[in-house]
Amino acid sequence: MDAAEPLIHVENFHMQFGQKKVIDGLSFDVARGETFGFLGSNGSGKTTTIRALLGIYRPTAGILHINGRVFSDDFGSRLGYLPEERGLYKKESVLDVMGYFGRLKGLSKADAVAFSRQYLQRVDLADKADVRVDKLSGGEQQKIQLGVTIMNEPELLILDEPTKGFDPVNRRLLMDIIEERKDAGATVMMVTHQMEEVERLCDSIILLKDGRAEAYGTIDEVQNQFGGRTIRLKHTGNIPDSPNYKVTLRENNYAELSVDDRVDEAEVLRELVLAGVVVRGFVAAKRSLEDIFIQVYGEAPGSEGAPAAKRGAAPGAGKAA
């Protein structure tokens, strides 16, 4: 297989269940060694696409290839898949469960146990090695599930909401682990609604709505496609309404303002100061993914969408339409 060829190739993919069309002409590539953000509101078709890619569903039409061909069991030992529905043997101890899955993934018993103990130490669960899985919290079980997913050092990681339910400290820990796998050469395809994770980890993204691509490309390309800028503001005082900006995020003394490309940032700063706002930090950057997500889906990440944004010309968007 040519190293320049994408590890994942999806072309003109259609999926229909009875009369219901779930995926409508979807196309995208995931390059080897990149982290790819697979984004969309609930019901947009993300899980359906992953299941078809892994041979769980048979596509109505189109091409879905991993490593140049339809997924088959011989690639399974090089795959780490964290599904939306988690699956651990909850009546067994943590170490026994991890060791069992390690053997299924081709590790020796000694190697599986060694990895498990090292991983449990890393995620602050070393004292839970002999505890039954059903005695762990949901977040602790999620850590075990991720450990099982990465223990065979897979070439391809497909992660469906890997940090769901984590507090900020544990989310950062799990993001570090995912980043380490990428640095080791793994390709990562990640479903998430956490835009911080996307901006930190992902090289390219696709925004899926109603089975179609609303945007596709690198993060810069998607930001350029939608235009506008985000002003990140640290302040004291109330931010007034203005035709020059839209407040998209308010958190204590921090806010994000969405501004049109035609608006002068200096004029926004002047307007805030004249309104009595004490500005302690003022940084303008390309439009945030959070703001783009809200424009496409109508609500914050994780919610059902509203009217979609106009499609642009980011690479691949034409194919995906």
Q: pLDDT tens digits for 185-223?
A: 999 999 988 888 898 889 999 999 999 999 999 999 999
- The owner of tokens 């469906």 is 160
Tokens in use for 54?
């892994």
What are the angstrom distances between the C-alpha of 60 and each of 8, 18, 46, 281, 316? 18, 11, 16, 52, 21
Residue 318: pLDDT above 70?
no
Residue 309 has pLDDT above 80, yes or no: no
Indicate the helix (H) or strand (E) that contains 235. Answer: strand 229-236
- Ordered by where they begin, the domains of the chain are 8-222 (3.40.50.300), 228-286 (no CATH)
* Over residues 163-182, mean pLDDT: 86
Q: Is residue 306 over pLDDT 90?
A: no
Confidence of residue 88 (pLDDT cuts 50, 70, 90): confident
Predicted pLDDT at 135: 94
Say what percent of the chain tops pLDDT 70: 92
User: Exposed, middle or buried: residue 86 (CB in 10 Å: 0-12, 13-18, 19+)?
Assistant: middle
Residue 3: what pLDDT?
A: 60
Rounded CA-CA distance 256/18 in Å is 44
Cα atoms in the Cβ-side hemisphere of radius 13 Å centred on 7: 20
Rounded to the nearest 5°, which phi and psi values hold at 199?
-65, -30
Q: Residue 300: its pLDDT value, please?
A: 60
pLDDT at position 280 over 90: yes
pLDDT digits (tens, 9 = 90+) for 37-78: 999 888 889 999 999 999 999 999 999 999 999 998 878 778
pLDDT of residue 43: 85
Q: Which stretch of 91-105, 112-126, 185-199, 307-321 has the lowest confidence by average pLDDT?
A: 307-321
How confident is the model at residue 316, as a pLDDT? 37
Question: What integer best gives the mean pLDDT of the chain?
Answer: 87
pLDDT at residue 213, rounded to an integer: 94
- Rounded to an integer, what distance in angstroms lies between the CA atom of residue 110 and that of residue 103? 10
Higher pLDDT, 197 or 33: 33
Structure token digits, residue 182? 């990428």
Q: Which two tokens stand for residue 167?
A: 């507090």
Give pLDDT, residue 17.
94
Radius of gyration of the chain from Cα atoms?
A: 22
The sheet carrying 8-17 orders its strands as 20-30, 8-17, 61-66
Q: Which two tokens stand for residue 237?
A: 């005082």
For residue 108, give every residue at least 6 positions away whose Cβ sits within 8 Å of its Cβ, in sequence order, or none.
none
Q: What is the 3-state secondary structure (H, E, C) of 117-183?
A: HHHHHHCCCHHHCCCEHHHCCHHHHHHHHHHHHHCCCCCEEEEECCCCCCCHHHHHHHHHHHHHHHH
**Measured in whole angstroms, how far is the alpha carbon of residue 315 from the centre of its chain?**
19
**Are 147 and 107 contacting, i.e. CB atoms less than 8 angstroms apart?**
no
Confidence class of residue 296 from pLDDT cuts 50, 70 and 90? Answer: confident
The lowest-confidence range among 87-91, 177-181, 207-211 is 87-91
CA dist 54 and 66 (Å) reads 8
Alpha helices, DSSP H, located in the chain: 46-53, 94-104, 109-122, 138-150, 168-183, 195-201, 219-226, 265-274, 289-297, 317-320
Q: b vs e for 190-219, b when ≥16 Cβ sit within 10 Å of the residue's Cβ?
A: bbbbbbebbeebbebbbbbbbbbbbbbbeb
pLDDT at 148: 93
